[in-house]
Amino acid sequence: MSAAALTRVPVTIITGFLGAGKTTLLRHILHKVQGHRIAVVVNEFGSLGIDGEILRGCGIEGCRDDDIVELTNGCLCCTVADDFLPTMEALLDRADPPEHVVIETSGLALPKPLLKAFGWPTVRNRMTVDGVITVVDAPAIATGRFADDPEAVAQQRAADPSLDHDNPLAEVFEDQLNAADLIVLNKTDLLSPQELQRVEAEVRRLAPRPVRLICATEGKVDPAVLLGIGAEAEADLAARPSHHDAEDGEHEHDDFESFVATVPEQTSVEGFLTLLQDVAAKYDVLRMKGFASVAGKPMRLAVQGVGTRFRHEFDRPLTAGAERTGRIVVIGEKGLAESAIRAALSTAG
């Protein structure tokens, strides 16, 4: 790390595709570094700030609500000037500025435009990117979600030379890998040793340069490994290629869409999870996350799903007389059957 970097506030960027476990990793960091002034910037694709809500309710001593800054009006890679830079400047201008800033990007964000923003005059002498951590959903890699079949693509192009092949999932995923200083293979407990070995080999094959790769379950990684990398990533852009390096202006995520669905009070946890899994499978939903209430239960039910894989927990008490209606963010590729999905989720599981 250069002498100049030592005088600047370090920033850690946590990126990774939808549902990789970024928020879980971030909560683990906050649990383990109590006593340090850490500010968190959470950016989400969609208008309902689920991840910021989860972090604000974390119950971690010293984790103040005003240390959680939430940006829900677009991916940071598209709104750098309007949203990101003013947020960073406001954090630096506090009477008690943070000792470290952690940014959790949207699962659809491209990290490189964000790295470039740290070259802006208002922040370049006050902040440095300590490291980019890319969280990877290991079971999703094992099932080939982000992989193209090279032979099939070649056959498609041969049959139709005008075909512009595009896999938006793969492009976003590869851009996130390309930016990484550290790759965290998460949810490895869901894989066999043989599957994990194949996933590690695939990720190393896709990464443009050798980077450290570690395995994790539930995002449990020692913060000493995550913070203090000293990469000065904003000064190393050439080593972090992007599918969109040649593009001018803002990059739009036109390949994806999201909406917020209202759900009634549920009859049972099991019935609700089955409903969500059925909807995800039938309509090819990438990601669902949100909150619901369950009849007879005084706690709010939080649910997070990647494809048809869901996890849940009762995360906090519902106040007496509180609205029992829940809300679920639904994210998928362009062309989601929004009306049908809303209708399906309007029933109680």
Digit-coded pLDDT (tens) for 51-64: 555 555 545 455 55
| Residue 306, SS3 per DSSP | strand
Distance of alpha carbon 341 from alpha carbon 344, whole angstroms = 5
pLDDT at 170: 82
Percent of the chain past pLDDT 70, that is, above it, reads 78
CB 182 within 8 A of CB 14: no
Residue 321 has pLDDT above 90, yes or no: no
| Residue 307, SS3 per DSSP | coil
Distance of alpha carbon 300 from alpha carbon 53, whole angstroms = 12
Residue 280 has pLDDT above 90, yes or no: yes
Angle 344-327-315 (CA atoms, 0-180°, nearest 5)? Answer: 120
Query: Which pLDDT band holds residue 294 (cuts at 50, 70, 90)?
Result: very high
* Average of per-residue pLDDT across 263-269: 93
Bridge partners of 333, per DSSP, are 256
Angle 311-312-314 (CA atoms, 0-180°, nearest 5)? Answer: 165
pLDDT tens-digit readout, 98-108? 899 999 988 88
Residue 199 has pLDDT above 60, yes or no: yes
Query: Which pLDDT band holds residue 253 (cuts at 50, 70, 90)?
Result: low
Query: Which pLDDT band holds residue 75 (cuts at 50, 70, 90)?
Result: low
Query: Which pLDDT band holds residue 319 (cuts at 50, 70, 90)?
Result: confident
Report the amino acid identity of residue 195.
E
* Average of per-residue pLDDT across 134-139: 94
* Average of per-residue pLDDT across 145-172: 58
| Residue 193, SS3 per DSSP | helix
* Average of per-residue pLDDT across 166-179: 83
Distance of alpha carbon 136 from alpha carbon 74, whole angstroms = 22
Question: 106: how many CB neighbours lie within 10 A of its CB?
Answer: 27
* Average of per-residue pLDDT across 281-297: 90
pLDDT at 152: 52
Percent of the chain past pLDDT 90, that is, above it, reads 38
Lowest mean pLDDT among 21-30, 292-301, 314-323, 325-334: 314-323
pLDDT at 164: 45
pLDDT at 329: 87
Query: Which pLDDT band holds residue 283 (cuts at 50, 70, 90)?
Result: very high
Distance of alpha carbon 229 from alpha carbon 115, whole angstroms = 15
**DSSP labels for 238-260?**
GGS--TTTT--SPPP-TTEEEEE
What the block records as the tokens of 189 is 């407990």
